[in-house]
Structure 1
Amino acid sequence: MNRLLIILAAMAFGCVMTIWLMPLTYQDETEGESTEKKPLYWVAPMDASYRRDKPGLSPMGMELVPVYTESENQAQSAGLVSISPEVINQLSVKTQKISLTQASKQITTLAKVEYDQNHIIHIHPRVEGWVEALFVKVTGEEIKQGQALYNLYSPQLLTAQEEFLIALKRSNQLLIQAAEDRLRALKLSDSFIQKLRESREIRQTVTFYASQSGVVNQLNIREGFYVKPGDTLMSIAKLDSVWLTAEVFEQDASFIQADLPVQFSLDYFPQQVWQGKVDYVYPELDDKTRVLRFRTELVNTDLSLKPNMFGSLTLSLPTKPVLQVPVQAVIRTGTQDRLVLAKGEGKFKSIQVQLGANYGANVEVLSGLNPGDEIVTAAHFLIDSESSKSSDFMRMETHQTEIEASSEYQSASVKGIIHQIDFNNRVLNISREAIEKWQRKAARLDFILAENIDIKQLKPEQSVYFTFEVRDDLTIVELEVLNNVQNHNLQKHKSQSHTTHSLELMGAEK
């Protein structure tokens, strides 16, 4: 009997010990399991939308990549993605540190040789008549200064000569001077007038001469043509100076300015390069081709440049320090440009950037990136597809964030309209505008006015610009009453606020 009691007592003691030790054992096992990271799911390296609950191969035959979750004490900001070193190596992720570098840009475009419009003369008759003889036969013919161009028969020229001879016979100096001035106005040369004075004989036809050397680039008459004032008989252009006209696309228009150095070359003169500067930039873009025209004047003493030739023109832009990234690292969505920022320790985040000029294989970054940042240049599309699901596309070390981090409370400055005032409790009911940095829409809320602000200066329907802090309540720490002009700009906001009148919880501002 005693032996049976001993056995029963031992069995009871063992049960008690088992029940007492089971929670500890379960707790240890649970803690061990919790320290081991388990993937949430597996995705295809090239398609983040292809998910599976276990390892395997993607439709392209690549091994699926595990995606892990972060524990609560490792909670990260929006869009931050953590990847293990093994997966980084498997995806062949490449990064590059960004710094300010001297960027030089060259724009190469097609240029056309044209006549210098400043050195083209147009021949017009000043009387009606008939072309009796034409000494210029074809377009492009070379002309020397003083060379005869054509003979013209005109009754008006005969009358002018007769008047001059009559004045000479009467020896009236006033009439002589007036008749001589008329002959000069009709483009008769001094030598013609002198011969007329000496010979006292009227000429039936008058010969007209070239006033400059050059080539005939326009010929509109033939012998026997009847001409009158306003007709362009021919044009003579010089070739010792020519224009180059070129075009650049709209995206490069901001770089084109006067005195920019240029180089011009021709295929059939490969060893010769002409140097010049941008002489003039046209004030408008072509409405169809969306290009900007500009021109350069070149000296052409050897006449090797012929009008209507085409060649290559290169503009050398001045160098400047810029922050630039490889073009292939940029993710363009159509609505924004993004880069994947490497935060270190396997953490990455997609951020929005503003791009500038292209420099060959690189592109300038105007905002969103700082010198010393490290970006992903390979496998960034996969990382972006995961980060963009929850990312705010904002840098985590912006200047504004540092200011807010150093302050005890978060704050924002915004415009609004006062609707109601509780003078006893110092509460203002205000319709405020949207707060972009917090991605908060416009709303109508109650704000506590700080003690240092005089509430007596305020009244309903006033437009104000104020700064508030998110404390236990929304507290206005700075406030400025706007003038009437600024108040007019807020009327549209006021009407929208009345339509969508709602009170948000104060925690929503946090």
Structure 2
Amino acid sequence: MTANKKTPLMKIIVIAIVSALVGGGIVMSLGDFSANSTTTASSKKAEKKPLYWVGPMDANYRRDKPGKSPMGMDLIPYYGDDGKGPDAGKGTIRVNPDVINNLGVRTATAKITNLHSRIDTVGYVAYNEDKLVHIHPRVQGWVEKLYVKAEGDMVTENQPLYDIYSPELVNAQEELIIALDRKNKRLISAAKNRLVALQIPQITIDKLLKNRQVQQRITFYAPQSGVIENLNIREGVFVKPGTTIMAIGDLSEVWIEAEVFERQASEVITGTPVTMTLDYLPGKTYAGKVDYIYPTLDAKTRTVKVRLRFDNKNGDFKPNMFAQVSIHTNGDAALLIPKEALIRTGNQDRVVLALGEGSFKSIAVTVGRYDNQNVEILSGLSAGEKVVSSAQFLLDSESSKSSDFKRMNHGAAETASNGNDMAGMDMSGDTSTQKIPSAMVNGTVISVMKDHRMVTIDRDAIAKWDKEAARVDFIVDESVDMSLFTPDTYLMFTFEIRDGDFVIVSSMPMSNNQDKGE
């Protein structure tokens, strides 16, 4: 009886073991199949070939094999839309990871941080006009003796400057003596007041009251210590009221007059800290503050003049010296991206948005202030989004062909559905900005004036304006890195015509031999 009960139990155990082995085999087979399927799919993806090759700066230049564009740049393979990866609407492109690596694509994240911009400019040392005294005679006469001989001579307060003979001064002294002889207080007071009005020194008046002798030559003295400036007389010269005899400048404190561009003027306020260096004292830095901002704009240079005040007790600063000035503006929170990520064209400013998984899209942005490394984005981007900071021109040349230049809002499906209705509309920006004439052209740098942000370039012909090749002076916009411009560099650049000036708004160096077609 016991043996019969054990037999069914053993059968159940054997059946369970066999079932487990069979099930495991099925699972393993399915796993192998899944792995093989993944490998096959990956192989197919890896074997995918480009549809065509396109010029990086001219999307209409296409070839069926690798090669060079008319500008001498390597053609970029285009793989088409595989339907995978994020889609932010019209203009979204997808690039093979190998191509991304070969192009050296780098991205940066838009961040909200303080914008501590530094405005680098030049300035000139000038007299503190609050302590600059101009000396003019109140009477006409002849300079009999001149005690200072040249501009730049140091004088101290009450030091003799010049002697003058004037019949009017002689008559004024005689009137005082007559009033004294008559002992008429009213006449005495009137005569003394006249001598004071004619700027006769008090020491001379006291001597006249004591000795009652008329002096034919009156000596005039320095009203303050300082340096002689604008010495316009010599001994024997006839002078009259209104003649500038000389000026005396106090150099214990000086002004530095600098200029900032119109776009930067709003960042500078009274009290903004500044640092300054002088060419003749290398390695020495002076700290000061903005003392005054002039209320008018120079119509020719489009700059605003600012005044800095520096102590000069050591005599380091001399009038008309050249100074390098850095104005450190107060930082406030702003949405910033690297300056190199911004693409500036004649119609709009834009960036290439990195959507992830090899997807990119050009979008329009509104630009605010700049500092040395970053640019403020007023609209078009959100904090945390990634933008392309290297090789963005190549990606933009493909995306901008069909892009609506709009950033897709998260969850805004209606925007995507309405995209086709806006296909015929110009979304390139405000119509007012489109009126600025601009052109993209190649050229060779001839000379550079870095401090003035000016370059001379032998530019190629501009077909759309029917302009032949010519040597032209350009102004480089503050947003463009001046280090890109060195003599004999061959580059491609975009410039705008602003108020009759040619202003370079973007630039990219190119290989000399290939890009010139040699």
Specify if TM > 0.5.
yes
Match of 2:180 among 156, 163, 168: 168
Aligned to 1:325: 337
Q: What is the SS of the residue equivalent to 1:121? A: strand
CA distance in 2 between counterparts of 1:95 and 1:183 reads 80
Aligned to 1:202: 214
Aligned to 2:111: 99
**Alpha carbons of 1:185 and 1:345: their partners in 2 closer, same or farther (altered >3 Å)?**
same
Q: Does 1:51 align with 2:62?
A: yes
Residues 182-203 of structure 1: CA deviation (Å, up to 9, x unaligned): 1111112222222212212111
**Alpha carbons of 1:259 and 1:76: their partners in 2 closer, same or farther (altered >3 Å)?**
closer
**1:93-172 matches, cutoff 5 A:** 93-172=105-184
* Letter matched to residue 378 of structure 2: L
| Conservation of the 8 A alpha-carbon contact between 1:45 and 1:91 | no
**Alpha carbons of 1:56 and 1:124: their partners in 2 closer, same or farther (altered >3 Å)?**
closer
* Letter matched to residue 149 of structure 1: L
Residues 399-428 of structure 1: CA deviation (Å, up to 9, x unaligned): xx85967xxx99xxxxxxxxxxxxxxxxxx
* Letter matched to residue 382 of structure 1: L
CA distance in 2 between counterparts of 1:200 and 1:71 reads 111
Identity between Structure 1 and Structure 2 (%): 44
**Alpha carbons of 1:166 and 1:112: their partners in 2 closer, same or farther (altered >3 Å)?**
same
Q: What is the SS of the residue equivalent to 1:164? A: helix
Aligned to 1:29: none
| Conservation of the 8 A alpha-carbon contact between 1:350 and 1:388 | yes
* Letter matched to residue 128 of structure 1: Q
Greater C-alpha radius of gyration: 1
**Alpha carbons of 1:151 and 1:93: their partners in 2 closer, same or farther (altered >3 Å)?**
closer
Q: Does 1:306 align with 2:351?
A: no
Q: Does 1:376 align with 2:388?
A: yes
CA distance in 1 between counterparts of 2:428 and 2:315 reads 67
Q: Does 1:245 align with 2:265?
A: no
CA distance in 2 between counterparts of 1:378 and 1:70 reads 24
Q: Does 1:391 align with 2:403?
A: yes
Match of 1:365 among 377, 380, 384: 377
Q: Which runs of 5+ in 1 are unaligned?
A: 1-31, 411-434, 442-510
* Letter matched to residue 106 of structure 2: K
Count of aligned pairs between the two proteins: 378
* Letter matched to residue 43 of structure 1: W
**1:250-261 matches, cutoff 5 A:** 250-261=262-273
**Alpha carbons of 1:403 and 1:261: their partners in 2 closer, same or farther (altered >3 Å)?**
farther
Q: What is the SS of the residue equivalent to 1:125? A: coil
Q: What is the SS of the residue equivalent to 1:49? A: coil
CA distance in 2 between counterparts of 1:365 and 1:143 reads 56
CA distance in 1 between counterparts of 2:217 and 2:304 reads 50
**Alpha carbons of 1:162 and 1:252: their partners in 2 closer, same or farther (altered >3 Å)?**
same
Aligned to 2:302: 290
CA distance in 1 between counterparts of 2:225 and 2:201 reads 17
| Conservation of the 8 A alpha-carbon contact between 1:143 and 1:210 | yes
* Letter matched to residue 53 of structure 2: V
Residues 128-185 of structure 1: CA deviation (Å, up to 9, x unaligned): 2111222121111111111111111111112111111111111111111111111111
CA distance in 1 between counterparts of 2:179 and 2:73 reads 108
Aligned to 2:348: 336
CA distance in 2 between counterparts of 1:218 and 1:92 reads 62
**Alpha carbons of 1:88 and 1:207: their partners in 2 closer, same or farther (altered >3 Å)?**
closer
CA distance in 2 between counterparts of 1:64 and 1:219 reads 71
Q: Does 1:230 align with 2:247?
A: no
Taking only aligned residues, the RMSD between alpha carbons, in angstroms, comes to: 3.4
Bigger relative contact order, structure 1 or 2, given CA contacts below 8 A and separation 6+? 2
Residues 101-145 of structure 1: CA deviation (Å, up to 9, x unaligned): 333222222221111111111111111211122212111111111
| Conservation of the 8 A alpha-carbon contact between 1:262 and 1:277 | yes
Q: What is the SS of the residue equivalent to 2:326? A: strand
Q: What is the SS of the residue equivalent to 2:306? A: strand
Residues 370-400 of structure 1: CA deviation (Å, up to 9, x unaligned): 11101122332232222222211111117xx
CA distance in 2 between counterparts of 1:63 and 1:324 reads 32
| Conservation of the 8 A alpha-carbon contact between 2:108 and 2:338 | no
Calculate the TM-score normalised by the size of structure 1: 0.67
Q: Does 1:349 align with 2:361?
A: yes
Residues 451-509 of structure 1: CA deviation (Å, up to 9, x unaligned): xxxxxxxxxxxxxxxxxxxxxxxxxxxxxxxxxxxxxxxxxxxxxxxxxxxxxxxxxxx
Calculate the TM-score normalised by the size of structure 2: 0.66
